[in-house]
Amino acid sequence: MMKMMITWRILFSLLCFVAFVYGQFSPDEAAMNALKTSLNSPPSFSGSNPCNWTKVVQCDGSHRVTHIQIKSLRISGTLPIDLKNLSSLIVFEVMENNITGKIPSLAGLRSLETVNFHDNGFTSIDPDFFTGLSSLQSVFLDNNPFDSWEIPPSLKNATSLAVFSAVNCNLSGKIPDFLGGTFPSLMTLKLSYNSLVGELPMNFSESRVQVLMLNGQKGVEKLHGSISVLQNMTALTNVTLQGNSFSGPLPNCSRLVSLKSFNVRENQLTGLVPPSLFELQSLSDVALGNNLLQGPTPNFTAPNIKPDITGLNSFCLDTPGTSCDPRVNTLLSIVKAFGYPVNFAEKWKGNDPCNRWVGITCTGTDITVINFKNLGLNGTISPLFADLASLQVINLSQNNLSGNIPQELTKLSNLKTLDVSNNHLCVETIPGFNTSIVHVNKTGNNCDIGKDSPNAGKKASSNAGKIVGSVIGILLALLLIGFAIFFLIKKKKQYHKMHPQQQSSDQDALKITIDNLCTGGSESGFSGNDAHLGEAGNIVISIQVLRDATDNFDEKNILGRGGFGIVYKGELHDGTKIAVKRMESSIISGKGLDEFKSEIAVLTRVRHRNLVVLHGYCLEGNERLLVYQYMPQGTLSRHIFHWQEGGLKPLEWTRRLIIALDVARGVEYLHTLAHQSFIHRDLKPSNILLGDDMHAKVADFGLVRLAPEGTQSIETKIAGTFGYLAPEYAVTGRVTTKVDVYSFGVILMELLTGRKALDATRSEEEVHLATWFRRMFINKDSFPKAIDHTIEVNEETLGSINIVAELANQCSSREPRDRPDMNHVVNVLVSLVVQWKPTERSSDSEDIYGIDYDTPLPQLILDSSYFGDNTLTSIPSRPSELESTFKSGQGR
Ligand SMILES: *[C@@H]1O[C@H](CO)[C@@H](O)[C@H](O)[C@H]1NC(C)=O
Ligand SMILES: *[C@@H]1O[C@H](CO)[C@@H](O)[C@H](O)[C@H]1NC(C)=O
Ligand SMILES: *[C@@H]1O[C@H](CO)[C@@H](O)[C@H](O)[C@H]1NC(C)=O
Ligand SMILES: *[C@@H]1O[C@H](CO)[C@@H](O)[C@H](O)[C@H]1NC(C)=O
Ligand SMILES: *[C@@H]1O[C@H](CO)[C@@H](O)[C@H](O)[C@H]1NC(C)=O
Ligand SMILES: *[C@@H]1O[C@H](CO)[C@@H](O)[C@H](O)[C@H]1NC(C)=O
Ligand SMILES: *[C@@H]1O[C@H](CO)[C@@H](O)[C@H](O)[C@H]1NC(C)=O
Ligand SMILES: *[C@@H]1O[C@H](CO)[C@@H](O)[C@H](O)[C@H]1NC(C)=O
Ligand SMILES: *[C@@H]1O[C@H](CO)[C@@H](O)[C@H](O)[C@H]1NC(C)=O
């Protein structure tokens, strides 16, 4: 056996030698021809000897293939599994083609140094791909429509890795720990525009990465947590974390001596901008906007620096370098010891702590009371409380504070009450307060976590006690079980109440499809090539069903009229209510029709609790009908502008906040859909519908256009409604997601004032709400007059009214880049709603966190074939373009 193999080997080598002599044969011929075949034999692969394909292949002296470089040759097809037979391969590059299918494993190719797959149609990568690729240095996977995937553990084998770039390729899960520690030579890590979640791994501390790009994660969760680990990543030159949910303070940058570019826009970062950042001399680009940064506006001092600090933050004053009021400085030092919590960063605005700062009460300009009771605070008590000499009351009770009570607090000569009850403080030895003057409450503290809790200490001392104890225990357990059952039943009932249609009408709609498909007919429904669209789950409903449901479009069933047609209420034979929009046929005809169909194909599959469900549609003859979920409480405009006529009650402020949050979530979802961004373009109260639970859903996707991934904007015909149009859109017709943010800002103004975006009945300077509102808002005296008089303005509501007013102003900024992303808007509104509905945290938690447990978020996997060639070719999303995130105030 052994002998035979050796003989064969010799024979094979001999053969190779002969072939070499004649200059014809390459041992890689079979594998290379398999590649040629599966790439549909492109012209540059001429003949059968791969070493002769000089434009795309290089061989070494033994006629082994070392380089395959097929760039931008419009090649399609797939890659064969035989690639892993090319054991001398060093470089494999197929970027910017149209190759599809799975990237096969190249496991074991020890010479392989570079692989480049970016900008193709690959849908997956073999999990085993990286096994044994010990020489691999560069990996590019950017811009491929992968199915959701995670970085495979086999990457650990690629210990020589220097560049790993997987931008915009549907990567999910967490950033694996091993990317930090395992790769001593990793210099570039680009994972932007994916769906990554979780925190930065702690062992990034050991990483020598220079370029770190994690911006623009999609979905609700995003990357979050602290970015303090950056302070140990001393090799960093370029960092982009824009558009995530990172929180806590900026890192100390004193060791980041090579840092050139630092972009953390659109996160939840709090605290002061450290001097180690704004004095960093290597820095040339920095972007901090749309965070919750506090303290003085930083004065960047590096030569030629271009700081971008536009957009929201919580700086005390606008002028860079100007110090804050000493009271502000002290308060910020105090909350520093709590890790700069978000709730202070959001609510402490301006330079005057006596101007309605949460938790602060003043007498004149002196801070007399600090009440931070029950705010979930972590950390320690700062000795700097002692700098606020006028303090009379400090209440820090019911938090998670640890450490000691600082000795310095005894210096507060006016202090009367210090309540630190119910924390984790060490109170065995308390500083020497004069207890006849200062009332100190330290009950419920226990700094030694290892110790038995006080209750556990009180062991039942007698048998009788034990028996009583266990009886009580059993009773308690029974009670608990009873409660659990009670709540389960209640929850279930609530679900049925809130989602009456989910139960029947989806099924019903499906039934309709099967029973009454608009089949055949060139004009009606889909046929021929389009058949797959039907299979993809969109629903075609026959005109007859809709006629029956609406009494043949009877006048009495009209719910409303819009620019595009009339909306009718309808009822299916089983009683399910629907809303049918009958569009004028002139609006969509000819070429637009195909586009319209494919758009609906997508939209019928878009599901979010804050978007009205589009059940289906019908296109027959001249009829164009859209069938929506029926929303019993009608439009938002009915409730804010026409409540008197409708015999309704005016909306309370808390309800308006919840509605604003609902709308913001719906729009955020549209903006961050899995593979592309939708822009609504016509947000306004008459397109916002309310259910019986008074929760809002965004409706009318008639104007939504698909915004291809990565394009900065799309130019299109103007559509929308005056009063809500962003200036740049009205002037240039350029559409970005910021157009919706503008309209949303106007809606917030309407919710605040009860006035319409355009109201011709008012005096000239009050006609245009956005302009008038801005003027009223600037002046603190005039602003209260602008608030809708039906809103009860009291000390409690005023805080959130002010925040919403500021948000409205920011959203409707003239410059698109000054407007926040919807992500930020949601974060701001969530904090206000949470503040208002503390009790709902447990009973109705999905409202607070926007997670719809009933309707799973769709994994909207959009087959490229839905969009036709023109759409595909209009996606010029090269990595370079995606990275130009400093400009992305215009993008997403
Ligand atoms: C690649 O190698 C495998 C086994 O190592 C073999 O079965 C296969 O035929 C080879 N492919 C080609 C095209 O030579
Ligand atoms: C390879 O190219 C050489 C010269 O360019 C040519 O003489 C030879 O015939 C080619 N061989 C094949 C198999 O095409
Ligand atoms: C590759 O990684 C696997 C675990 O993922 C490990 O078992 C194996 O030893 C590694 N091989 C090499 C060559 O590093
Ligand atoms: C930075 O590195 C030091 C020393 O390795 C470590 O103790 C510290 O925890 C690290 N800090 C962060 C924020 O990772
Ligand atoms: C890093 O940032 C600098 C300064 O903004 C820029 O010139 C350079 O192109 C960036 N490098 C990379 C790899 O992004
Ligand atoms: C900002 O920095 C510049 C350059 O170091 C300095 O000249 C200027 O005085 C600083 N401005 C303030 C307000 O501190
Ligand atoms: C305190 O820490 C917990 C757990 O890490 C965190 O969930 C909470 O948000 C923190 N509280 C504040 C006010 O930051
Ligand atoms: C101390 O605080 C606890 C809990 O906050 C409270 O129940 C108790 O009455 C307080 N004690 C005094 C003496 O005020
Ligand atoms: C890519 O391939 C698909 C299907 O194979 C085809 O429809 C499309 O036109 C191709 N795109 C380009 C840019 O060649």
Query: Residue 817 carries which side chain, given as an amino acid letter?
Result: R
Ligand closest to the CA atom of residue 340: 7
Are 80 and 103 in contact, with CB atoms under 8 Å apart? no
Q: If DSSP codes are grouped into helix, strand and coil, which group holds residue 662?
A: helix
Q: What is the DSSP string of 476-499?
A: HHHHHHHHHHHHHHHHHHHHHHH-
What are the helix (H) ranges across 672-753? 727-732, 737-753
pLDDT in tens, 524-568: 232 222 222 333 345 778 888 888 889 888 888 888 876 567 889
Location of structure tokens 């099924």: 507
Ligand 9, atom 1: closest residue by C-alpha: 98
What are the structural domain ranges in the chain? 39-170, 328-452, 502-576+583-608, 631-837
Q: CA-to-CA distance for 315 and 296, rounded, in angstroms?
A: 6
Relative to the CA of 886, which ligand 5 atom is closest? 5
Ligand closest to the CA atom of residue 129: 3
Relative to the CA of 85, which ligand 1 atom is closest? 1
Half-sphere exposure of 588 (CA within 13 A, CB side): 25
Find out whether the beta carbon of 299 lies less than 6 Å from any atom of ligand 6: yes
Find out whether the beta carbon of 31 lies less than 6 Å from any atom of ligand 1: yes
Q: 342: CA distance to ligand 7 center in Å?
A: 10
Q: Show Cβ contacts of residue 529 under 8 Å, excluding neighbours closer than 6 positions.
A: none
Are 299 and 278 in contact, with CB atoms under 8 Å apart? yes
- Are domains 502-576+583-608 and 631-837 of this chain identical in fold? no
Contacts 24+ apart (CB under 8 A), 850-855: 850/220, 850/609, 850/610, 850/661, 850/665, 850/826, 851/220, 852/608, 852/609, 854/495, 854/499, 854/502, 854/609, 855/502, 855/607, 855/608, 855/609
Q: Which of 273, 277, 283, 299 has the most ligand 6 atoms within 8 A of CB, as the residue to mutate?
A: 299
Are 799 and 770 in contact, with CB atoms under 8 Å apart? no
How many contiguous H segments (helices) and E segments (strands) does the chain have? 24, 40
Q: 30: CA distance to ligand 1 center in Å?
A: 8
Number of Cβ within a 10 Å radius of residue 36: 20
List residues near ligand 3 (CB under 6 A).
Answer: 131-132, 134, 153-154, 156-157
User: Which residues of the chain fall short of a pLDDT of 70?
Assistant: 1-25, 448-538, 562-564, 584-599, 601-605, 674-677, 701-720, 835-892
Half-sphere exposure of 347 (CA within 13 A, CB side): 21
Q: CA-to-CA distance for 354 and 202, rounded, in angstroms?
A: 40
Q: 261: CA distance to ligand 5 center in Å?
A: 6
Which candidate in 682, 788, 818, 821 is catalytic?
Answer: 682
Find out whether the beta carbon of 34 lies less than 6 Å from any atom of ligand 1: yes
Q: If DSSP codes are grouped into helix, strand and coil, which group holds residue 310?
A: coil
Q: CA-to-CA distance for 237 and 219, rounded, in angstroms?
A: 28
Q: If DSSP codes are grouped into helix, strand and coil, which group holds residue 128?
A: coil
Ligand closest to the CA atom of residue 319: 6
Ligand 5, atom 11: closest residue by C-alpha: 238
Is 556 annotated as ligand-binding?
A: no
Catalytic annotation present for 452:
no
Tokens coding 338: 């709590």
Q: Which of 393, 427, 430, 441 has the most ligand 8 atoms within 8 A of CB, as the residue to mutate?
A: 441
Location of structure tokens 């053969």: 15
Rounded to whole angstroms, what are the CA distances from 289 to 232, 282, 303, 746? Answer: 24, 20, 21, 21
Please give the pLDDT value at position 505: 35
Ligand 2, atom 2: closest residue by C-alpha: 52
Find out whether the beta carbon of 871 lies less than 6 Å from any atom of ligand 9: no
Relative to the CA of 339, which ligand 7 atom is closest? 14
Ligand closest to the CA atom of residue 298: 6
Q: Show Cβ contacts of residue 403 under 8 Å, excluding neighbours closer than 6 positions.
A: 380, 381, 425, 426, 447
298: left (phi over 0), alpha (psi -120 to 50) or beta: beta
Q: Show Cβ contacts of residue 337 under 8 Å, excluding neighbours closer than 6 positions.
A: 379, 380, 381, 382
List residues near ligand 2 (CB under 6 A).
Answer: 24, 47, 49, 52
Q: CA-to-CA distance for 175 and 203, rounded, in angstroms?
A: 11
Please give the pLDDT value at position 585: 65
The highest-level CATH class for domain 39-170 is alpha beta
What are the helix (H) ranges across 293-360? 326-336, 342-347
Find out whether the beta carbon of 301 lies less than 6 Å from any atom of ligand 6: yes
Are 178 and 155 in contact, with CB atoms under 8 Å apart? yes
Location of structure tokens 């008089």: 789
Nearest to 283 by CA among 263, 255, 305, 251: 305
Q: CA-to-CA distance for 859 and 249, rounded, in angstroms?
A: 34
Q: CA-to-CA distance for 701 and 680, rounded, in angstroms?
A: 7
- CA dihedral sign, ordered 554, 557, 560, 564: negative
Please give the pLDDT value at position 759: 87
Tokens coding 704: 């939504």
Are 239 and 218 in contact, with CB atoms under 8 Å apart? no
Relative to the CA of 211, which ligand 5 atom is closest? 13
Nearest to 892 by CA among 44, 53, 243: 243
Please give the pLDDT value at position 836: 52
Q: 109: CA distance to ligand 3 center in Å?
A: 13
Find out whether the beta carbon of 207 lies less than 6 Å from any atom of ligand 4: no
Tokens coding 26: 């390459």
Rounded to whole angstroms, what are the CA distances from 729 to 448, 590, 708, 743? Answer: 61, 26, 18, 11
Ligand 1, atom 4: closest residue by C-alpha: 85
628 forms beta bridges with 579, 614
Give burial (CB, 10 Å; 0-12/13-18/19+) of 652: middle
Give the CATH fold of the 328-452 domain. Answer: 3.80.10
Tokens coding 734: 């350029």
Q: CA-to-CA distance for 537 and 867, rounded, in angstroms?
A: 16
Tokens coding 360: 């602060």
H or E, element range at 840: helix 840-843
Q: Show Cβ contacts of residue 128 under 8 Å, excluding neighbours closer than 6 positions.
A: 105, 107, 152, 154
H or E, element range at 439: strand 439-441
Q: CA-to-CA distance for 180 and 229, rounded, in angstroms?
A: 11
Relative to the CA of 205, which ligand 4 atom is closest? 14
Q: CA-to-CA distance for 425 and 403, rounded, in angstroms?
A: 5
626 forms beta bridges with 581, 617
Q: If DSSP codes are grouped into helix, strand and coil, which group holds residue 696?
A: strand
Rounded to whole angstroms, what are the CA distances from 705 to 718, 719, 840? Answer: 12, 11, 36
Q: Which of 224, 335, 378, 424 has the most ligand 7 atoms within 8 A of CB, as the residue to mutate?
A: 378
Q: CA-to-CA distance for 624 and 618, rounded, in angstroms?
A: 6
Nearest to 509 by CA among 448, 439, 579, 557: 579
Nearest to 520 by CA among 530, 510, 511, 512: 530
**pTM, entire model:** 0.59
Find out whether the beta carbon of 33 lies less than 6 Å from any atom of ligand 1: no
Ligand 2, atom 1: closest residue by C-alpha: 52
Say yes or no: domain 502-576+583-608 is CATH 3.30.200.20: yes
Q: Which of 213, 215, 237 has the most ligand 5 atoms within 8 A of CB, as the residue to mutate?
A: 237
Q: 364: CA distance to ligand 8 center in Å?
A: 29
Q: CA-to-CA distance for 540 and 511, rounded, in angstroms?
A: 11
370 forms beta bridges with 360, 394
What kind of architecture, by CATH, is found in domain 631-837?
Orthogonal Bundle (1.10)
Ligand closest to the CA atom of residue 165: 5
